[in-house]
Structure 1
Amino acid sequence: MNARVLKVHPGDNVIVALRNLSAGEHIEFENDTYVLPYAVGAKHKFVTEDRQPGDPITMYGVLVGKATQPIRRGEPITTFNLKHDSEHYGLDKKQPFSWKPLDVSNWQDRTFMGYHRADGSVGTRNYWLVVPLVFCENRNVLIMKDAFERELGYAQPEIYRENVHELLSLYKAGEMDVIKKMQPFIEPNQTGNHAQKRTFKNVDGIKFLTHEMGCGGTRQDSAYLGSLLAGFINNPNVAGATVLSLGCQHLQTDMISVEIKRQNPKFDKPLLLFEQQAGTEYALMSEAIKETFLGLIEINKIERKPAPLNALTVGLKCGGSDGFSGISANPVLGHLSDTIVSLGGKTVLAEFPELNGVEQELINRTEDTAKAQKFITLMGEYSAQAEAVGSGFDMNPSPGNIKDGLITDAIKSAGAAKKGGTAPVADVLDYAEPATTPGLSLLCTPGNDVEATTGMAGSGTNVILFTTGLGTPTGNPVCPVVKVSTNTVLKNRMPDVIDFDSGPIIDGEQSIAQNADALLEYIIQLASGETITQAERLGQDDFIPWKRGVSL
């Protein structure tokens, strides 16, 4: 790799700056010389030829925008001189597709230590789940959370409470000057996973969900919530669940029971259902606590055992993306996805707004025509819904994305799609629809980090890989979320958020395949419980159901 610049695809008419480039600098690349009329920041792109208004800009081999102003050779593309554009797609444009699985002989006999479920799935974690069917039960869920986590050794270290205690003591002593002159608190060492404090050694945690749904919305919203909660309970990382119901809400206990069985006819996990309007709150809570405790005793009997790597269901996500995302971390996930698929495992690519511009490639890769049409329908309905309220997919890039080189949604999407590798698309799923087909599945979710990771966990992922160029602390209650940095500067700046670094690719120290192999080694350790993610260590249990409104 050139130390300063990179052309991602031979057909591109833009070149990516890997370092900050100065105005007037001469760039030698592929037997050509470019003189830069303006400075080009790292992660940004300059054109290889003069462009006039309406001329196409291509990157990753696809159309990513059209010029709105004259752009001179060597000049950077910006939101001032470029607007989003992408190719039209459809079944009528479907092209033949072939794929050769990777040589995975080095991984064929490798295993991880997982929790085997009766339905044949394997968990990377052994969790008990507590969920409310309606927001009225959030308070009761949080009371249970405080009681169980404190008493059983799952509570987060109270470092910030200790900070406040120290400040309060100084304030009571009249030491205002001392408080004002204090240096920042020393960061504690949080490298451990606190497992030694647990009462139940084989229970990785008790996870408590809260949400604002279940009543007062549409019946469709309640149905989607029921499907999502059923997916979480069916997730292979969950061993049992406690469900709290008020009683009068749209989403009834019998509905959730039916949905769980519909999704998984082999379901046999302990499921505890409690309804508050059947008596007093104290009666509800004391019974729920007792039965949940008994459930924990039972799932503590489950131990990790070897499982093949094809038992993994890996979610593929990006957030806080930058101009390096599509060059380093996302292609690494793509190579890893192809490896898992070649082994017979499952991967799930989410974020439909961030597939804008690469739809035709994915259609070509979808061998089943009915599934290709399902993808077209879901994309079309989602896009039309966004456009109807004046917020189309072209408005997806955030200010942070744009600042770091993702000028149009098509640029962002073409790089984001690299997470899906090159394997055929085996299935197309609506939000929280179970991932049951080996291979790569496309899952309809927003780009919104938490709505997307929530949907992936609801579809059954037991590990989520999350690339980021700017730094995103997102986690998930039941599925470990691995934060993969696109650049080493981020890894060094936010070590308490980032788990794995793909920056060595940008620095020319590793190939994409080498970095992907190192990431898979990390996943094996993670799936075996030998390490935990930074999000798990921080207690970052984010849960936001998508209400199917416009969310990009």
Structure 2
Amino acid sequence: MLARVLKVHPADNVIVALRNLSAGERIEFDNAVYDLPYAVGAKHKFVTEDRHPGDPIYMYGVLVGKATQPIRRGESITTFNLKHDAEGYGLDKKQPYAWQPPDVSRWQDRTFMGYHRADGSVGTRNYWLVVPLVFCENRNVLILKDAFERELGYSQPETYRQQVHELVSLYRSGQVDVIKKMQPFVDPDQNRTLAHEPARRPFEHIDGIKFLTHEMGCGGTRQDSAYLCSLLAGFINNPNVAGATVLSLGCQHLQANMIGEEIKRQNPKFDKPLLLFEQQAGTEYALMSQAVTQTFMGLTEVNKLKRQPAPLSALTVGLKCGGSDGFSGISANPALGQLSDILVALGGKTVLAEFPELNGVEQELINRTDDTTKAQKFIDLMSSYSAQAEAAGSGFDMNPSPGNIKDGLITDAIKSAGAAKKGGTAPVTDVLDYAEPATRPGLNLLCTPGNDVEATTGMAGSGTNLILFTTGLGTPTGNPICPVVKVATNTALKNRMPDVIDFDSGPIIDGEQRIDENADALLEYVIRLASGEETTKAEGLGQDDFIPWKRGVSL
């Protein structure tokens, strides 16, 4: 019989509904009986004891809010009767921490097939990157994108173009009534995983050419341009990138020499082809034709690279969630945490981002950070970010979205305590500001917003060559250079959005798999993906999202 409720931590005074529970229903759990005065929807929580205004609510063993109204035993917590609250944190509260690594003997000798770079890193993909230093070059980047993708077999299918063509034909023939009566469009191939045309590709060892556009590089603050420079350098340094074409106008804040210097600063061993073109040196035609020819020649060189075996310790995996629900912290996120612990024990790197979604679990992470300098850096980043958000009238407590709240994440502390599960239990080895490269094996904390694309953009800029992205509501986010794996927190989502979801952690909720079993299955998928044997749904859909964080208030 499937479990109906779950208590996540012994210290909790709320119980999670795993199924819809009816008003008047009697729930027997853990030697106690609860009579529910009202219905409790799946993913929501009811209290184990009467709560009065000001009384604390605990979940995941931490403070997640305080009652604002009387809450009867068995009644669910809501935005009406509960407000966000969290414990304070600081170095003065730091407690000793001991970690018991998981048994990794099963994975010790496993390898993936990756692209070995001259600096010792290993890519899971082999991409050529085209980037503008300033928004003035976006048009030229898009022209190059159209030319290269169409001719080299990397363009997306023309499914929707064909649909528009059919509608135009009907309109021109006067059949508007036929259009009005048409049935909703049905995807002819919902299970496609690769939308490109491999048969037409002249370069069999190049996974794609990726083209970035943005709205920065000039006109904003010099700080914005400096952060963009670091981010673009991080993308070019990413192990999944084999070479890059950079377009510059010439007069912008982000000067051409700055990008080269930043690349070398981040990676003194940098040894990839880097092509730089400046438009104000001549005509647009001269710029573009030269960029086309030299980029093509660069592709002929990086196509000589082939996949070779690499240990799992060579992976750098990002840990992200978006469109979270009340099951995120008890299924998909803990599965990612288990996988993270395995990779850390093997000597690999994992990167946990989204600082607004660590609100309430700061002290636990401080305790797990052995280096007090790194712990203080985490405190400084968190406190300054939080203060900036509050000064703008949008504190971390405003982080949960309407979708989060509807599906059981009532306060930011509840959301954060569940989100932090993606980081497992390993010690924190490094704390990184946005676009800082991840260089130390182990669990890294990366300061990014919770915003899905700003966060994944920052993770790729810090060197992740895979991102595991959990979602309970369904999110199509992808990244130009870093495969983004969508992990469903519940099987209903997997069935509802099969064109977006790559892996299902719903069997944990359904009692069909333990967390460690689900994590093992996910790691097997990751090995195939890293080896090029699988592609993510986001890759197939061409979901290449790139939004740099301008360091303003973004939750």
Q: Determine if the TM-score, normalized by the shorter chain, exceeds 0.5.
A: yes
Would you say 1:443 and 2:450 are equivalent positions?
A: no
The gaps in structure 2 that reach 5 residues or longer are none
Superimposed CA distance per residue, residues 342-382 of structure 1 (whole angstroms, 9 cap, x where no aligned partner): 10000000000000000000000000000000000000110
How far the C-alpha of 1:526 sits from its partner, in A, is 0.5
Matched letter for residue 150 of structure 1:
R
SS in 2 for 1:310: helix
Name the counterpart of 1:421. 424
Structure 1 counterpart of 2:320: 317
Q: Distance in 1 between matches of 2:464 and 2:386?
A: 26
Read off the aligned partner of 1:191 and give its amino acid letter.
Answer: R
Q: Which moved more, 1:276-285 or 1:163-172?
A: 163-172
Q: Deviations over 1:123-182 (max 9, x none)?
A: 000000000000000000000000000000000001000100111111122222222222
Q: Which deviates more from structure 2 when the two are superposed, residues 186-195 or residues 207-216?
A: 186-195
The Cα shift of 1:116 comes to 0.3
Distance 1:162 1:81 in 2: 52
Aligned position for 1:386: 389
- 1:186 deviates by 3.3
1:145-544, aligned counterparts within 5 Å?
Answer: 145-189=145-189, 191-193=192-194, 194-544=197-547
Distance 2:293 2:70 in 1: 71
Match of 1:114 in 2: 114
- Distance of 1:479 and 1:73 partners within structure 2: 47
User: Which blocks of at least 5 consecutive residues in structure 1 are unaligned?
Assistant: none
Structure 1 segments, 4+ long, off by >6 Å, are none
Shift of 1:461: 0.1
The aligned amino acid for 1:389 is: A
- 1:270 and 1:256 map into 2 onto residues whose CA distance is 14
- Residues 193, 537 of structure 2: 8 Å contact kept: no
Alignment-derived partner of residue 32 in structure 1: 32
Hey, what's the Cα distance between the residues in 1 that align with 2:243 and 2:399?
38
Q: What residue is the counterpart of 1:18 in the other structure?
A: 18
Three-state SS of the structure 1 residue aligned to 2:329 is coil
Residue in structure 1 matched with residue 50 of structure 2 by the alignment: 50
Give yes or no for the alignment of 1:9 onto 2:12.
no
Report what 1:141 is aligned to. 141
- TM-score, normalising length: structure 2: 0.99
TM-score by length of 1: 0.99
Structure 2 residue 76 is matched with structure 1 residue 76: yes
Q: How many residues align?
A: 552
**How many Å separate the matches in 2 of 1:192 and 1:64?**
40
3-state SS, counterpart of residue 326 of structure 1: helix
> Quick one: distance in 1 between partners of 2:127 and 2:491?
33
Q: 1:192 to 1:50 in 2, by over 3 A?
A: closer
**After the TM superposition, which of the residue ranges 167-176 and 411-420 deviates more from structure 2?**
167-176
In the alignment, the residues of structure 1 paired with residue 176 and residue 151 of structure 2 have an alpha-carbon distance, to the nearest angstrom, of 36
Structure 1 partner of 2:67? 67
The alpha carbon displacement at 1:185 in A equals: 2.8
Q: Give the counterpart letter for 2:97 in structure 1.
A: F
Partner amino acid for 2:112? F
Give 1:501's aligned amino acid: D
Q: Given the alignment of the two structures, is residue 88 of structure 1 paired with residue 91 of structure 2, yes or no?
A: no
Q: Within 2, Cα distance between the matches of 1:313 and 1:470?
A: 26
Pairwise CA distance, 1:2? 6.0
Cα distance in 2 for residues equivalent to 1:196 and 1:487: 36
Aligned AA (2:212): L
CA offset at residue 290 of structure 1?
0.5
How big is the shift at 1:102?
1.1
Secondary structure of the residue aligned to 2:470 is strand
- Residue type of the alignment partner of 1:14: V
SS of match in other structure, 1:289: helix
Three-state SS of the structure 2 residue aligned to 1:335 is: helix
Q: Secondary structure at the match of 2:487?
A: strand
What is the distance in 1 between the residues matched to 2:469 and 2:482? 12
**Mapped contact 2:344–2:443 kept (Cα < 8 A):** yes
Q: Which one-letter code corresponds to 1:97 in the other structure?
A: Y
Distance 1:295 1:519 in 2: 35
User: Distance in 2 between the 1:475 and 1:243 partners?
Assistant: 22
C-alpha separation in 1, matches of 2:178 and 2:516: 53
Letter in 2 for 1:388: A
Partners of 2:193 and 2:536 within 8 A in 1: no
* Alpha-carbon distance between aligned partners in 2 of 1:186 and 1:31, rounded to the nearest angstrom: 50
**Structure 1 residue matching 2:330: 3-state secondary structure:** coil
- What CA distance in whole angstroms lies between the structure 2 residues aligned with 1:192 and 1:536? 8
CA RMSD across the alignment: 0.8
Worse overlay, 47-56 or 176-185:
176-185
Secondary structure (helix, strand or coil) at the match of 2:34 reads strand
1:216 aligns to what SS in structure 2? Answer: coil
Report the residue type matching 2:367 in the other structure. Answer: N
2:288 partner SS: helix
Report if aligned partners of 2:235, 2:241 keep a CA contact under 8 Å in 1.
Answer: yes
CA distance, structure 2, for counterparts of residue 74 and residue 185 of structure 1:
45
Distance in structure 1 (CA, Å) of the matches to 2:510 and 2:193: 30
Alpha-carbon deviation of 1:183? 1.8
* 1:487-523 residue CA offsets vs partner (Å, 9 max, x unmatched): 0000000000000000000000000000000000000
